[in-house]
């Protein structure tokens, strides 16, 4: 690995928010008709970390980056032996260092998320991914709706008539989904994770979520806030950073929300928390939606309000905010 793309040295904490409108954020294949995952007690929508990693992997694959775990239906996806053979092609398997470094250089998703290497013919050990996310949850109870549909393909009956097939779709009317993740600098050493890889991760989260249009059930996703706090101290992060952001519904109730204009993010606790730990923070990187509305210090505004609140706490030099 070149010196200008060295392995990361600092730990990061990630908060990622996106909303989903009239869509199924993450269907459960064990339920009837792949219904959305919803906590039966809190009524919060649930999205697994596997679903989020799939979003990133698919984006990287579309952008021409080599990955190990391709999407279902992709070329060579169903035979991991073929994927390993392709990624290990030309590697001198007698040179252990060359095997590991070359393989990692060719598989960006392994550098990010690791891989179990559960195959006898894989010439490397397992890798624990330095980037890990918890399950995502909506920041509020959601309203699940069911739509009856008729397929447009005619189905001829024995009596000579024609008609479409009936089926149901289950979707969430609106959900602001919140993920929390940690980038571990110790695991990064094992997979050669670099700052450039973190840039790809952020692109994958942001643009990969926006590009979830391959099926009708996934249309309606839009990234709203991506926050990465890079720490200056080894083996340290604040923890539970995502819980310092509150959602304030601007409707009669959370289940009545249908658009981001019906929401307001309260970031006061986030700003206070970062202020309390400012001496252990190297930099804060944020991407925000142009439609995002936040309240901080009793002032309501868009991305500029968030940027001003962060810079007043950490200083201009320690904050980078981009708008989309």
> pLDDT tens digits, the chain, 324 residues: what are they?
434 578 999 999 999 999 999 999 999 888 877 899 999 999 999 999 999 999 999 999 999 999 988 886 655 444 566 777 777 777 766 666 677 888 899 899 999 999 866 555 555 667 899 999 999 999 999 999 876 555 555 555 555 555 556 557 889 999 999 999 999 999 999 999 999 999 999 999 999 999 986 666 677 899 999 999 999 988 899 999 999 999 999 999 999 999 999 999 999 999 999 999 999 999 999 999 999 999 999 999 999 999 999 999 999 999 999 998
Cβ–Cβ < 8 Å for 264, 250: yes
- pLDDT attached to residue 163: 55
- pLDDT attached to residue 76: 47
- pLDDT attached to residue 213: 65
- pLDDT attached to residue 2: 39
pTM of the model: 0.89
| Angle value at C-alpha 34, between 31 and 37, nearest 5 degrees | 75
- pLDDT attached to residue 299: 96
Cβ–Cβ < 8 Å for 267, 295: yes
Residue 165, token pair as written in the block = 């097939």
What's the Cα-to-Cα distance from 237 to each of 55, 129, 139, 142, 187, rounded to whole Å? 25, 17, 22, 31, 15
What's the Cα-to-Cα distance from 199 to each of 8, 135, 287, 321, 323, rounded to whole Å? 12, 22, 12, 14, 16
Strand partners of residue 44:
141
- pLDDT attached to residue 3: 41
Cα separation, 100 vs 300, in Å, equals: 50
- pLDDT attached to residue 44: 98
- pLDDT attached to residue 158: 57
Contacts of 16 (CB under 8 A, 6+ apart): 52, 136, 178, 179, 180, 181, 205, 223, 225, 226, 227
CA diameter of the chain = 78
Contacts of 196 (CB under 8 A, 6+ apart): 5
């Amino acid at each position: 690995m070149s010196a200008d793309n060295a392995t990361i040295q600092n730990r990061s904490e990630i908060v990622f928010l996106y909303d989903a409108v009239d869509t199924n954020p993450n269907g459960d294949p064990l339920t009837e008709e792949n219904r959305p995952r919803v906590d039966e007690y809190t009524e919060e929508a649930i999205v697994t970390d596997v679903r989020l990693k799939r979003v990133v992997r698919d984006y990287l694959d579309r952008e021409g980056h080599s990955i190990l775990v391709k999407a279902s239906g992709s070329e060579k996806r169903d035979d991991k032996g073929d994927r390993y053979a392709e990624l290990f092609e030309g590697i001198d398997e007698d040179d252990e260092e060359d095997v590991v470094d070359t393989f990692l250089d060719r598989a960006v998703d392994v550098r990010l998320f690791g891989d179990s290497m559960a195959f006898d013919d894989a010439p490397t050990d397992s890798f624990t991914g330095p980037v890990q996310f918890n399950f995502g949850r909506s920041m509020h109870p959601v309203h699940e709706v069911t739509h009856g549909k008729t397929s447009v393909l005619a189905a001829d009956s024995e009596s000579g008539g024609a008609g479409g097939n009936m089926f149901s779709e289950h979707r969430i009317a609106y959900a602001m989904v919140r993920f929390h993740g940690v980038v571990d600098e110790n695991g990064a050493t094992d997979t050669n994770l670099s700052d450039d890889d973190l840039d790809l991760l952020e692109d994958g989260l942001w643009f990969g979520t926006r590009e979830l249009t391959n099926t009708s059930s996934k249309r309606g996703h839009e990234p709203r806030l991506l926050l990465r706090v890079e720490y200056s101290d080894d083996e340290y992060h604040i923890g539970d950073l995502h819980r310092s952001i509150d959602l304030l519904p601007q409707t009669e109730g959370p289940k009545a929300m249908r658009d981001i204009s019906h929401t307001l993010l309260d970031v006061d606790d986030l700003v206070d928390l970062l202020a309390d730990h400012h001496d252990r923070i190297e930099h804060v990187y944020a991407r925000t939606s142009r439609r995002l509305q936040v309240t901080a210090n009793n002032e309501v505004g868009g991305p500029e309000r968030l940027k001003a609140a962060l810079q007043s706490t950490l200083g201009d030099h320690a904050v980078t905010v981009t708008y989309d």
